[in-house]
Structure formats: C-alpha cells, structure tokens
Structure 1
C-alpha cells in the first residue's frame, strides 16, 4: 500500500468469540478508502462477522478496530451507524412506506431538509435506472427483487455516508439481475468513489467487483491483493483451489478497447490520454504494456470521457464479459 493512501478501516489483532467458539483468532486487516474491498470465502469463514464489527453490530472480544483513524468504540453508536450505509441480502424495505419514504429514513434522522432529500432521492433513483416519476411513490410489494435491491442501494447512499457495507447483497437474485447489479455497483463507484466493503462467497463476483480482495477461511485472512494478484499468484493451495472455477480461459484478444470501455467496468480519469492508444486499439496490442504494470488512459470517442485501464481493469472486463455464462450458474 502506498504511503499517502487513506485508510478507511484498520483491524488490529482482532478476536471474536461466540459461546466459547473462536470465530476470528487474530485478524489484522487494512481497508483503503475509496475502493471496493471484497471479503470472499466459503460459508462460516468469518466474512459477515468481520463486516458487522465495522458498524458495531458485533463488537470484538479483543483487539481494536479504527474507522478513518478513530477507534469505532469511541464513536457515539448512532453517529457511527449514520455514517455507514448498509445493504443486506434481504433488503427489508419498510412495507408500509413508499420507495421515497424508505429512502428518506436516515436523511430525515440527520435533519436534512425536505428539498435536499427530494433532490437526492431523484438523483440516486435516476442513477440506478429507477426514474423517480415512475418509482418514488410505489410500495415495496410493487417492486421486483432486483428493483427492491436497487432501492436498498439508494437508501444506503441517501445520507452520503463515508462507507457502504454490503453483505452478500445479490446472492438471493436471479443470475441476470445479479449481473446487472454488479455492473451497476461498478458504474456507481466510478461516479461516487465510495469506500465499499462487499461480502460474498462467490469468487466470480469477487473478481468482477473488487478493487482488492481478502480471502478468508476459518476466521483467518489467507491473502489480500488485487484480482490479478489473487488469480496469478495465489498464496496458498486453498486459494488456488477456491478460485480454480474462475480461471479465465476465454479471452478474445481481438476485442478492441471500444468493447472494454463499453463494459462499464473502468473508472474515469483526468489523466491525458496515452499516446498512440485509441478506442480502436486491440486488447492484444496493449496487453504487454499492462503485463508490465503500466496504467493507460484511453479516451472513449462515444462519450468523450477518458478511462483508466490497468491489468486489474482488464481482468474485470474478462470476468464480466467472457466468463459471464459460466459465472451465472455459481452460487
């Protein structure tokens, strides 16, 4: 991690015990700000317990957790939770409230003005492809599962929190809705630059959405790295076996950068476009440069924006596009 990188959450020698059973033995973990940080591993590995300790739904048995440099135990509990959005597997919208009323719950508690809440609601619903004119006055029972989860994401973002926690948010959805929402999170992150801690047991999902991944098993962190690090340099045989089903073997090297940009997985950048790289350049032509650790800036002639492309971004594209038929069957 580079020295000037902001740290959102730090776990220092954290232990967690339930009924004389040690779930986390000695957890040391650094979560950078403004990234999607994925906790992945099989059921019972301690992922959700780790997530819940950030907003103190669970407290550690030993050790310390800091949130933007301050111990979480020092925050007033309400202040801490209001500063952290939370998206669950089963979103649990209030059934007697409209979509707009559900979204307004935390902003109203934080004394945001009605005008600001309405503006924020309209903006965020548009960002998740649910126009306010059509959806704001609907009730939860009038929404599909995917629509309800989009509302849940908006509700988590409504008060502009410093962090979003997402606990297996898409695992109950059908494969198509799941893929659409994974892509939605990547688009939102490219625009909003939030710190997101995302729990999943699906290695395909981890590779697709994560800027960094922590692989957990039996309460222990086995490896932390970028998707490319995890796949290309697994630290243990467990990790190699766990990700074996996500091997990328369907790369179409003739794909152009236009196709990569259209996938929506790359973040925008203010960097000047890299010389002699255009949206019509093929993946094959730039792959050696990415393999050498270079970060490219590619201008998209369709929308006029410039996007950042590195090896991890190319891997996200490969997983999103060329392994989608395989990943849709994984749960």
Structure 2
C-alpha cells in the first residue's frame, strides 16, 4: 500500500449512546493518513462526538476505533493524547502564559530539548505569519481572535503529532479571518502532510479544505467522497440540498455593496447612511454585523437614495443572484 493510502483512523461498527439515546448508529468510517478529512453536517448530527472518540474524550458504547492499526483503548491515555493535536472553536489559551509558553506546554511534557523547542516555536509562528520576535512574549489578551486561533494551531503542531483534530476551529471568527485561516491550513498541510480530522457545519468550508468529506445527519454517515464526487453524485436528497445551500452562499461572499445595490432588492429608508459602508465594501466584511441583527444604510449615488441593508436584504440578494446563475447555466 502506498504511503499516502495508509489508514490513520478507522471506526468499526461504533455506536454511542447518551442517557439512553443513540447518538451514533453503527458508524463505519476509514480516515486515510496525510489528508484533511472533514466531518460535515448540521448541529446534532454527531460530528463532534465522533471527533472526541478518537482521543477518548468520549468512549464508544459499542464497536472499535483504531489509531494506526491499534485500538485506541489499548493506548495509555497520555500517550494517545500526546500523539494527537487538538484545535478547538474557542482556543482557550492559558491567560497567564505568553504565546511561547502556551506553545511549549506539550513539548515540555514530552521533554523536548529547549533549543529544539525554541527553533520549533519560531518556525511555526513564522509559518502562521506571527513572527516570534513580535508575538512570542505577548499574552493572549493582546491578541485578536484570528491571532489567538493561529497560536492555537501552532500549539497543536508544536510536538509534531501525526494527527490533528480540529473542532469547528474557525466558526467563531469573522468571515475574512475565517477565509484567511482556511487558506493557512491548506498552506500548512502542503508542507507538513498531517492527518487532519476537521469538523464543520459549513459545507462551503468542507469543500474548500477537505481532501475527503463525510456528510453526517442524525448520527448516520450519508456519504463519503471527494468534494467533486459529492458535488457530482450526491447519494441522498439531504446531501444534495446541503451542498446546494453552500453553493448559494458562495455566490455572494466576495460581492460588493455596489453589486447588491445594482440588484434592486433593497428597500429605501430614511435612515442616514452608515459611514463605514462604501460601495466597495464586501458582503463578507458586513456579514458579522448583519448576522448580529444590525441594520445598515447605504447611499446609492446613481439614484441619490439611501437603502436599508439588513440580513433579509442580503438573503434576498443571494437568492436573486443564485437564481440568475441557475437560469444562465440551464
């Protein structure tokens, strides 16, 4: 078997019950080594529970999980977890430790030589665009959300584990930071070739970062395949609908306020124009405010009218653009 085709993790007839309710039903799944394998599905589909069983944060009710051919239950727990990096949605850096000290926690437990640890820290911080000279001695409260998440990624990689678990790592970030970190993960993977198990509820994100995707719903895996295979041959109506929703969102992400105005979907308002919103502002930049319920107003120099821009207006725009693209491709 070629190196790239080795199996890193395998679930064999795994079931997981919580308080008498079955969360995962006869889960059979093979995760190849050295790939980004994405578990995607709506909330409650069992993605995070599946992820946590790999490093035994959760134990299966029945079935077997193997880690490079050996049952995870056969590993000493510390040895298993030291072999696996873990990146959370809320990165939870130790607030009383500097960036360098946060990164050093596991390598120091594993007795990594100090010189090697320093070099490793500098190398990884540079790889995530946080030069050690500037960031190593900072404390977490001096970092932005995106910077803290980059430090979390470095911390997961510092001891050079073969497998990284990533549990919705970017979902709490604004759209621009999220896109930047998705690109960063792809750059790092091209250099480091880790086995990454990545959980997300966002099909668009899954398609972007995943070598392979497992679509989950109600504790069952509906389909496993490459992004192209799932796009071209969805195995169930739910998969097709879930993918279509991601494609619909992709249509408008990089569009500008000028394009939204030109679509004619916004309604006039007497609200004064929002100073920070210009014709060149992207939908991605506005999404966090609109998602929080903020109502913005934008002036259209062509009509000399001010228009209301809120979450419903953005949705109307996405639907309009998506429908137009569908018609032009039919």
Task: Mark yes or no: TM-score above 0.5.
Answer: yes
Task: Work out the CA distance in 1 between the residues paired with 2:250 and 2:35.
Answer: 27
Pair 326,228 (structure 1): closer, same or farther in 2 beyond 3 Å: farther
1:195 equivalent in structure 2: 195
CA deviation after TM superposition for structure 1 residue 248, in Å? 7.8
Q: Which aligned runs of 4 or more in structure 1 are off by greater than 4 angstroms?
A: 1-4, 248-251, 324-331
Deviation per residue, 1:44-100 (Å, 9 max, x gap)? 000000000000000000000000000000000000000000000000000000000
1:66 equivalent in structure 2: 66
Task: Work out the CA distance in 1 between the residues paired with 2:52 and 2:8.
Answer: 15
Pair 248,241 (structure 1): closer, same or farther in 2 beyond 3 Å: closer
Normalising to structure 1: TM-score of the pair?
Answer: 0.75
Aligned length: 259
2:207 equivalent in structure 1: 207
SS of aligned partner of 2:160: coil
Task: Work out the CA distance in 2 between the residues paired with 1:158 and 1:225.
Answer: 30
Is residue 107–residue 159 contact of structure 1 (8 Å, CA) maintained in 2? yes
SS of aligned partner of 1:160: coil
Task: Work out the CA distance in 2 between the residues paired with 1:81 and 1:45.
Answer: 24
Q: Which runs of 5+ in 1 are unaligned?
A: 252-323
CA deviation after TM superposition for structure 1 residue 5, in Å? 1.5
Question: Higher helix proportion, which one?
Answer: 2
Task: Work out the CA distance in 2 between the residues paired with 1:134 and 1:13.
Answer: 49
2:327 equivalent in structure 1: none
Q: How does 1:1-331 map to 2 (within 5 A)?
A: 5-247=5-247
Task: Work out the CA distance in 2 between the residues paired with 1:250 and 1:217.
Answer: 22
Q: Which runs of 5+ in 2 are unaligned?
A: 252-281, 292-330
Pair 46,71 (structure 1): closer, same or farther in 2 beyond 3 Å: same
Is residue 16–residue 60 contact of structure 2 (8 Å, CA) maintained in 1? yes
CA deviation after TM superposition for structure 1 residue 246, in Å? 2.7
Task: Work out the CA distance in 1 between the residues paired with 2:69 and 2:32.
Answer: 12
CA deviation after TM superposition for structure 1 residue 25, in Å? 1.1
Task: Work out the CA distance in 1 between the residues paired with 2:90 and 2:15.
Answer: 27
CA deviation after TM superposition for structure 1 residue 247, in Å? 3.1
Is residue 24–residue 219 contact of structure 2 (8 Å, CA) maintained in 1? yes
CA deviation after TM superposition for structure 1 residue 245, in Å? 1.9
Cα RMSD (Å) of the superposition?
A: 2.2
